[in-house]
Amino acid sequence: MSAFRSSALVSVAVAIGFLVALPALAEEAADVLDIAGRYEVKGVTVDKATNQEREISGTITIVQEGSTFTSHSEFKTLTPGTDIVPAKVLGTGNGVIEGSKLTGTGDNQLQSSSVPGLDVDFGMIPHQKVSQSIRSKWTAEVSGDGTIKLVSDNTAAEGEPDYSPTQTTLEGRRVASGPGN
């Protein structure tokens, strides 16, 4: 058999193998819901020790790569244990997607206003204090219509003994699609 003919047979065999694998690859890709985008959410955080509740709202941005994702979140709430001191929670996370369910972990930073009633984002006045680092483990479900429901169990990051464990429940909807949508 000539080298040309042998090379052509190998090329045909590779092409057939690729064509046979395509439906399985397409089916696997179809099993992963497209969840990339920005979500506006709101809900409540409950202190597990005291059952004290505080409202929380903001955005979660999700970047998807196949069946994994990274996220960035920014929320407004109140400083734990107060009724009038605004706070902001900034976080990053990552995890896996299985069907419409997301499972992940996150690292968050709680920033509080040192002036009661003054928004944490108010500019030109040194009033912001950075407090606890928070570690989160969470699950979420995204529906085909773009709604999201998320439950997060939050504890103090290592070396942060002052944060009382909490659970945050959020619901919202996708307001912008991710890249390629």
For residues 139 and 145, what is the distance between their CA atoms, to the nearest angstrom? 18
Segment among 15-19, 57-61, 87-91, 124-128 with least mean pLDDT: 15-19
- Answer whether 0.85 is exceeded by the pTM: no
Residues 6+ apart with CB under 8 A from 116: 82, 84, 85
The CA distance from 127 to 53, in Å, is 25
Structure confidence by residue, pLDDT tens digits, 105-141:
999 988 887 666 666 665 545 555 666 789 999 999 9
Q: Between vectors from CA 43 to CA 85 and to CA 77, what angle results, nearest 5°?
A: 15
Give the tokens for residue 120. 């944490």
Distances (CA, A) of 147 to 4, 92, 140, 172: 56, 20, 10, 6
Q: Per-domain residue ranges for the chain?
A: 1-30, 37-177
Closest CA to 74 of 56, 54, 89, 94: 89
> What pLDDT score does 42 carry?
98
Q: Which residues contact 159 (CB under 8 A, 6 or more apart)?
A: 133
Residue 91 has pLDDT above 90, yes or no: yes
CATH number of this structure's domain 37-177: 2.40.160
> Residue 137 CB: number of other CB atoms within 10 A?
15
- Better pLDDT: 33 or 90: 90
